[in-house]
Structures are given as C-alpha cells and as structure tokens.
Amino acid sequence: MVQKTDTRPREAAIVESVRTNSFGTFGHLLGCAETFEAAVIDPGGPIASLLEKAKQTNLTINKILITHEHLDHIAGVAALKQALPAAEIYIHPAGVPMYHAKGVPVPFAEWESLWSSWMGRRIVDSVSSTLLGAPYEQPNEPDHMLQGGDTVTVGSLSVRVSETPGHAAGAVSLFVDQEGLIFTGDTVMGGVVGRTDLPGASGFDMFSSLKHLTSEFENACKDATLYTGHAPPTLVSTELSRNIYLNNTLRFVPTHILGNALFVVLLWFAWSGFKQTLSLFRKLSHPQGKDRVKLVEKKTK
C-alpha cells in the first residue's frame, strides 16, 4: 500500500521540530497561526535553535509542555525559563520526582554531596556538555500539573492530554485533534516504541498505553501527523499499518511477556545447573563417593 507522506501541519497550526541534543531528541515548537502564541514541547538541550525558529515564525512562546521527565526532554527548561520567564511549565505529577532529580533515577540524584563536590560537578558538567550540549541546570518548579483529559490552550489551539505511562511514569501524549497533530514523546516513535527498562518505566503500563493509543489512532483522522521524541514525523496511518507494537503483529504479545518467559527459561537452566553442582558436591563429600571418583580417575589414567 502506498503511504501518504505529507506530514505538514494544517493551516491553523505551525509546527517546527529541531534536534536539541546528541541523544537526537526533538524539541517541538507548536504555534497558533491566528494568535502567534506558542508552546515548546520537550526542550531537551540548548534552546537557541528553538528561539530562532520562534523568531522566524513570529511566535511568542508562553508555555513549556513536557511529554515525560527524562533528562533529554527537560535539560533546556531552565534556559528557556531564563530567556522567557513568563512561560509556564506543564508536566504530569507522576514525572515530578524524576524531573526534580535532574532527570536521572531518584536514588542516584540523592547523592547530592557527590554531585555538588568539585570533582562531581566537573564530571556532571562534562557529561552534560557532551550529551546535552550545555552544563545541566536544574529545571524550574512546574506551574501546572497535566492530567489525562485536560485541555491546554495554545492560542486558539486545544491540546488534549492523554496519559500514556510505560516508557516513563509521567509520560503523556498530546493531541491537537482539530489540526490532526499528535505528540507522543518517546512512547511511540516511528515504527517502534520507547524502552521500558529504565527506572520509572513499566512494561505493563506500556502495554495498556499502547492499546489505548491504538484506539486513539484508529479514531484519529488517518493523515494525522505524529511528532515523536526521536524519530522524524510520521503519519498515524503509517504507524497503524507498520508499527508492530500497534497493529496485530505484537499487539497482544507485549515485550515484557516475552522478556518474562525468557527469564523463566534462564532461571530453569540456572536451577538445574545448581542442582547438578550440588549433587556432584554431595557425591564428592560422601566417603564412598570420593572413593568412586578416585576409582574413576585411576581407570582413566
């Protein structure tokens, strides 16, 4: 089947996407073509190119929407707030602990004395500078909590919030239904889905979110455009036909079930190996067993 490849936004919306860091994370500028108000979705690194795009399109950024709390999606929040103090930050409450914990797993972030020591600071800054393009700055306090079913307005555009946890606890997908625009962060990314092995992730939640997103996509207009965290824009119809996690290929066999099955097999091998070692040890520690082993050794010499 020939796929339609026109992924341009409709006339009432302006969308600009730029790569913000060396993770290849996309930051999106979502603007209203009537009022020229705009939101930045996922400022994940240096913000110069996002600000430049806003300037070129005459957009005024007054909102920062975060699809999830990972470092590569929030690292530019502090700089954006410095440049645009009036911009308000929106995030799902389940993502707030990691958002405040430098976008890294909470237990690591609690090693505050290590990070704030001279050497720790240099390590963090050099890693951040390499991966994110700038030293990491703690993001500002969020202004609003996103909940499933909420609507955030960007000029005359309505952005509907859908909770899609799995890749991250506070992951949301953002739907601009009238304009056929969907921002899925790292939940669905051009033929694949986000990983579920990081702290805060859940395979079970991802399974539910993908089922939910599949029905959302089936109800969306087929040429609705999907903007993702790391893959170029794609069409809903393309995802429904080619993404094996959304169509029937793997829809009912989530990766965590396959992973768990593999884990059980490995556990069984480990247990049988342990039992064999134990029985050999018993034979060796038994006087007759030792003799038998010696006898076998003599015979083989």
Which residue, 19 or 222, has its beta carbon nearer to Zn ion? 19
Angle at 63 between CA 59 and CA 68, to 5 degrees: 125
Cβ 68 to Zn ion shortest distance, Å: 5
Answer for which of 72, 179, 205, 216 binds Zn ion (CB under 5 A) is 72
Q: What's the maximum distance between 2 C-alpha atoms anywhere in the chain?
A: 93
Site string for Zn ion, 17-56 (x = CB under 5 A): --------x-------------------------------
By CB under 5 A, tell whether 229 contacts Zn ion. yes
Instruction: Give the residue among 168, 183, 141 at the shortest CA–CA distance from 27.
Output: 183
Which residue, 29 or 157, has its beta carbon nearer to Zn ion? 29
- Stretch of residues binding Zn ion (CB under 5 A), selected from 72-80, 103-111, 217-225, 247-255: 72-80
Cβ 24 to Zn ion shortest distance, Å: 8
Which residue, 184 or 237, has its beta carbon nearer to Zn ion? 184
Q: Both ends of the chain: CA-CA distance in Å?
A: 71
Which residue, 131 or 240, has its beta carbon nearer to Zn ion? 131
- Stretch of residues binding Zn ion (CB under 5 A), selected from 79-87, 179-187, 203-211, 261-269: 179-187
Answer for which of 69, 186, 205, 216 binds Zn ion (CB under 5 A) is 186
CA gap 278, 45 in Å, rounded: 54
- Stretch of residues binding Zn ion (CB under 5 A), selected from 31-39, 142-150, 180-188, 249-257: 180-188
Residue 276 has, within 13 A of its CA and on its CB side, a CA count of 6
DSSP, collapsed to helix, strand or coil, labels residue 227 as strand
Residue 9, amino acid: P
By CB under 5 A, tell whether 92 contacts Zn ion. no
What is the edge-to-edge ordering of all strands in the sheet holding 157-163?
151-154, 157-163, 172-176, 181-185, 225-228, 234-235
Distances (CA, A) of 158 to 9, 31, 91: 14, 11, 17
Which residue, 27 or 155, has its beta carbon nearer to Zn ion? 27
Distances (CA, A) of 79 to 15, 53, 157, 265: 21, 16, 25, 49
Cβ 90 to Zn ion shortest distance, Å: 17
CA 153 to chain centroid, in Å, comes to 24
Cβ 193 to Zn ion shortest distance, Å: 11
By CB under 5 A, tell whether 69 contacts Zn ion. no
Residue ranges in contact with Zn ion by CB under 5 A: 25, 70, 72, 186, 229
